[in-house]
């Protein structure tokens, strides 16, 4: 270890009681320093005028943009002579907290992003239908009666096989999506039955997930479990819209709640209960201005039902309803303001850390250096619509003028999928694989760039002010509480292991 070093431009400082936490955005590493260590090491970790060297309370909102991408050479330092500090330098170097003066972190991040874009595993989303049995007022999709046929399933299978074989892939992921995917359960079973032998034969590890409303699952718990076992579905996202009254009003049956002996809340509760411990279940708690007060009470119910016990594999989290697409633009009227939601979300994460091991659900509880911000920008991701259309973004689903071609017209070169020739399309489809946050004026200078990568590419392409603001506010308000909560939970967990059981 020799030469000149400089602090990483992506170090963040977070106060934790009497100690200091330092997070690095390039490596996702986290260290804790007591006051003495902080006094000795902070000159190596932060440039004197670096806003990252101040905690959120000291920095005015809006200062997330860095004045320069890389710390100026004048902040370069030589290694200390003190043996303890020298030993610490080796650790800081391994965690990317300090780097060689000639190292360009921005270029490293950009190269990593481009490499992950082109060398990504196959990720397939299959939309078995664009229809749904529920009529949620906020739904962003353009729904229509449809059902994926066996012929389309066969074409998808050929598509998958071609990519796996030509790129010699040994892993892939398939997500079932809708509409409500369980409205066309036969397509799920048909495609799975043919895909699994191929994957087993070619030693391909294929994982499966689903996003479902939970109301069309078998009544019998045994049948529910048998279904996920036979289809190898390993994780499912279900949504709750508050306590039963609010949930049933928002997630109402299209043909009227009175026609159904079981409410949508009760049907979902039964499904989640049946799958407890069998698959990972992510419970998205949708909040708007009318049900936001339900979140904590709902989790208390989950607790009473045993859903938060060790081994239950159930992970609730908050989500803010908003105007994702023109179809649900009116939702803005009922949306929880960004700042209020972020405060609730921070409180909720802290609350949840009493029940779950945050390391088990770190995607939502710890800021990670992202390989990619969204699969839409990855070259080998594709969404198959029920009629064989190809899409890149779930929010484009159902808008055929935004599709990226059709299975019947796909050429021998499957990827990357580019926007179809959209002669009459207004607006035209986005070229998602060309997305580049490193060329963006604000994102390229932002201290949260490695953990955010600009957020949703569709939002960036369309300059959706509502969600651009939401993304920036999220990091400004949530970053420090998230890191602090994660560190607190880890340390609580270590302490509890040290104490004798009662």
Partner 1 sequence: MDHLNADPSTTPTKPLVNWLRPPDSTNPRDTKVTIAYECCKSACLAMNDSGADYARK
Q: Please, which of residues 203-232 interact with partner 1 by CB under 8 A? A: 205, 207-211
CB of 177 to partner 1, least distance (A): 8
Tell me the site size for partner 1, rule CB under 8 A. 82
Count the alpha carbons within 13 Å of 245 in the hemisphere toward its beta carbon: 5
Beta-bridge mates of residue 16: 19
Pairing of strands 77-78, 98-100: unpaired
Instruction: Closer to partner 1 by CB, 146 or 470: give it.
Output: 470
242 forms part of the interface with partner 1 (CB under 8 A): no
366 forms part of the interface with partner 1 (CB under 8 A): yes
Q: Identify the helix (H) or strand (E) that includes residue 478.
A: helix 465-498
480 forms part of the interface with partner 1 (CB under 8 A): no
490 forms part of the interface with partner 1 (CB under 8 A): yes
Site string for partner 1, 385-424 (x = CB under 8 A): --------xxx-----------------------------
Instruction: Closer to partner 1 by CB, 44 or 265: give it.
Output: 44
Contacts 24+ apart (CB under 8 A), 431-436: 432/374, 432/376, 432/377, 432/392, 432/393, 432/457, 432/458, 432/461, 433/117, 433/377, 433/378, 433/379, 433/392, 435/376, 435/377, 435/460, 435/461
Site string for partner 1, 277-316 (x = CB under 8 A): ---x-x-x------------------------------x-
Cα R_g (the chain), whole angstroms? 24
Site for partner 1 in 181-200 (CB under 8 A): none
Site string for partner 1, 428-467 (x = CB under 8 A): ---------------------------xxx-x-------x
501: left (phi over 0), alpha (psi -120 to 50) or beta: beta
Site string for partner 1, 117-136 (x = CB under 8 A): --xxx-x-x-----------
CB of 491 to partner 1, least distance (A): 8
41 forms part of the interface with partner 1 (CB under 8 A): yes
**CA dist., res. 390 & res. 397, Å (int):** 9
274 forms part of the interface with partner 1 (CB under 8 A): no
Q: Which of 231, 263, 471, 485 binds partner 1 (CB under 8 A)?
A: 471
The 3-state secondary structure of 148-210, one letter per residue: CCHHHHHHHHHHHHHHHHHCCCCEEEEEEECCCHHHHHHHHHHHHHHHHHHHHHCCCEEEEEE
Task: Output the six-digit token pair for 372.
Answer: 């990619």
477 forms part of the interface with partner 1 (CB under 8 A): no
37 forms part of the interface with partner 1 (CB under 8 A): yes
């Amino acid at each position: 270890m020799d030469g000149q070093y400089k602090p990483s431009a992506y170090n963040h400082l977070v106060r934790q009681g009497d100690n200091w936490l330092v997070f690095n955005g390039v490596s996702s590493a986290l260290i804790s320093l007591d006051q003495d260590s902080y006094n000795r090491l902070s000159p190596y970790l932060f440039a004197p005028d670096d806003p990252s060297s101040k905690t959120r309370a000291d920095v005015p909102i809006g200062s997330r943009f860095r004045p320069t991408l890389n710390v100026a050479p004048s902040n370069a330092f030589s290694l200390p002579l003190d043996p303890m500090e020298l030993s610490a330098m080796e650790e800081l170097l391994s965690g990317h907290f300090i780097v060689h003066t000639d190292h360009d972190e921005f270029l490293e991040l950009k190269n990593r992003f481009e490499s992950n874009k082109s060398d990504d595993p196959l990720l397939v989303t299959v939309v078995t239908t664009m229809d749904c049995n529920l009529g949620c007022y906020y739904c962003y999709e353009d729904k229509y009666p449809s059902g994926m046929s066996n012929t389309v399933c066969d074409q998808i299978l050929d598509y998958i096989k071609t990519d796996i074989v030509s790129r010699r892939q040994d892993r892939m992921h398939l997500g079932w999506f809708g509409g409500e995917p369980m409205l066309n359960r036969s397509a799920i079973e048909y495609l799975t039955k043919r895909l699994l032998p191929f994957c087993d034969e070619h030693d391909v590890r294929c994982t499966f997930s689903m996003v479902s409303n939970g109301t069309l699952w078998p009544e019998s718990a045994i049948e529910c479990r048998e279904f996920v076992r036979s289809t190898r579905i390993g994780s499912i996202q279900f949504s709750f819209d508050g306590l039963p009254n609010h949930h049933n009003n928002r997630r109402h049956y299209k043909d009227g709640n009175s026609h159904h002996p079981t409410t949508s809340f009760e049907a979902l509760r039964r499904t989640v209960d049946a799958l407890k411990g069998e698959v990972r279940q992510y419970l998205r708690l949708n909040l708007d201005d009318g049900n936001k007060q339900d979140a904590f009470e709902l989790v208390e119910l989950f607790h009473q039902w045993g859903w938060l016990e060790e081994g239950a594999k159930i992970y609730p989290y908050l989500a803010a309803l908003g105007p994702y697409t023109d179809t649900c633009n009116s939702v803005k009227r009922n949306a929880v303001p960004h700042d209020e939601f972020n405060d609730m979300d921070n409180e909720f994460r802290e609350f949840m850390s009493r029940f779950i091991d945050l390391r088990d659900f770190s995607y939502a509880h710890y800021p990670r250096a992202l390989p990619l911000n969204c699969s839409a920008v990855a070259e080998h991701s594709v969404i198959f619509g029920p009629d064989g259309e190809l899409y890149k973004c779930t929010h484009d689903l159902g808008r055929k003028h935004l599709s990226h071609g059709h299975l019947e017209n796909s050429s021998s070169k499957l990827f990357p999928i580019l926007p179809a020739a959209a002669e009459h399309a207004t607006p035209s489809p986005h070229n998602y694989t060309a997305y580049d946050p490193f060329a963006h004026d604000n994102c390229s200078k932002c201290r949260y760039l490695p953990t955010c990568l600009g957020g949703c590419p569709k939002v960036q392409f369309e300059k959706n002010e509502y969600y651009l603001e939401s993304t920036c506010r999220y990091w400004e308000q949530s970053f420090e509480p998230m890191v602090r909560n994660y560190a607190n939970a880890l340390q609580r967990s270590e302490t509890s292991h040290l104490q004798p059981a009662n």
